[in-house]
Amino acid sequence: MTFAATVLTLYPEMFPGPLGTSLAGRALREGKWSLQTTQIRDFATDKHRTVDDTPAGGGAGMVLRADILAAAIDSVTDPVPILAMSPRGAPLTQARVRELAAGPGVAILCGRFEGFDERIFAGRAVEPVSIGDYILSGGEMGALVLLDACIRLLPGVMGAALSGDEESFESGLLEYPHYTRPVEWEGRTIPEVLRSGDHARIAAWRKAQAETDTRLRRPDLWERYTGARVQPPSGARHPSEDDKT
């Protein structure tokens, strides 16, 4: 089955871009995924091909019009989930990437300027997705990120089929650190355990490293992993309330 990607954008020339190279590029040429771009401007109705207008209520910048976006969205005939790149969306996770990669494909709406008229999210089944807590100038880079994450999971795309399974986030932890030859570099050696050939010790060391690194670098992931935030049963007092009595 071919994973069908459709990108709705004002800049179709940005695609496939980096996804035309390396693993994704080869997979595209081999037909493991397909890519179609839709120029949002083609759905404008005036002679200037206008797609945006000034923000209601005032303020800087321009907003993409809901009626134009809807016409572009309605042109997607594949039965695929439709995502919209937006910093106001749910943060993209490896779990969501896995779901998407297991499906028939995805259509991605790329914003520009100040973003979309909010009514598009009520008027069409569009899922807003963010790639992180920072602002890009447009959704195209986000679409490339999302597609890259999906494509590497498609059957036959990654060289070693197993290499996806131990990655960071797959287990809820960051991945353990890697080393390779030379054994000594600038006075630093590869940890002895990794050279021991003792697979049980190596596995234990890797698990401990993954846990330590996650705890120190990503307390948010660590908290979820350990279930540390135990919700008090309803009606129970929070421990800090005891302090006040």
Nearest distance, CB of residue 109 and ligand SAH, angstroms: 8
Which of 210, 201, 131, 129 minimizes the C-alpha distance to 174?
210
> Interface with ligand SAH includes 110 (CB under 6 A)?
yes
Neighbours of 112 (CB within 10 A): 21
Is 144 annotated as a binding-site member?
A: no
- Binding status of residue 100 toward ligand SAH by CB under 6 A: no
Residue nearest to ligand SAH (CB): 111
**Secondary structure class of 38 (helix, strand, coil):** strand
**E strand or H helix that includes residue 127:** strand 126-130
DSSP 46: S
Give the residue among 194, 106, 182 at the shortest CA–CA distance from 148: 106
Contact 110, 10 (CB under 8 A): yes
Task: Kindly state the smallest distance separating residue 236's Cβ from ligand SAH, in Å.
Answer: 38
Q: Would you state the structure tokens that stand for residue 240, as one six-digit string?
A: 């800090």
* Shortest distance (Å) from residue 184 CB to ligand SAH: 41
Give me the least distance between CB of 64 and ligand SAH, in Å please: 7
- 176 is annotated as contributing to ligand binding: no
Say if residue 235 carries a ligand binding annotation. no
- Contact flag: residue 8 with ligand SAH (CB under 6 A): no
Residues 115-134 contacting ligand SAH, CB under 6 A: 115, 130-132, 134
134 annotated to a ligand binding site: yes
Tell me whether residue 24 or residue 69 sits nearer to ligand SAH (CB atom). Answer: 69
Examine residue 173 and tell whether it contacts ligand SAH (CB under 6 A): no
Under the criterion CB under 6 A, does residue 138 sit at the interface with ligand SAH?
Answer: yes
Q: Which is nearer to ligand SAH, 56 or 135 (CB)?
A: 135
Is 164 marked as binding a ligand? no
Q: Which stretch binds ligand SAH (CB under 6 A): 34-42, 49-57, 112-120, 221-229?
A: 112-120
Helix and strand counts by DSSP (H, E) for the chain? 8, 9
CB atoms within 10 A of CB 18: 15
Based on the shown chain and the rule CB under 6 A, indicate whether residue 83 belongs to the binding site for ligand SAH: no
Tokens standing for residue 242: 């005891």
Separation between Cα atoms, residue 245 and residue 243, nearest integer Å: 6
CA 172, 158, 8 angle in degrees (round to 5)?
A: 85
Residue 79, CB-side half-sphere exposure with 13 Å CA sphere: 1
- Report the residue from 87, 147, 152, 222 that binds ligand SAH according to the rule CB under 6 A: 87
Binding site members: 111, 131-136
Binding site members for S-adenosyl-L-methionine: 111, 131-136
User: What is the binding site for ligand SAH (CB under 6 A)?
Assistant: 85-88, 110-112, 114-115, 130-132, 134-136, 138-139, 142
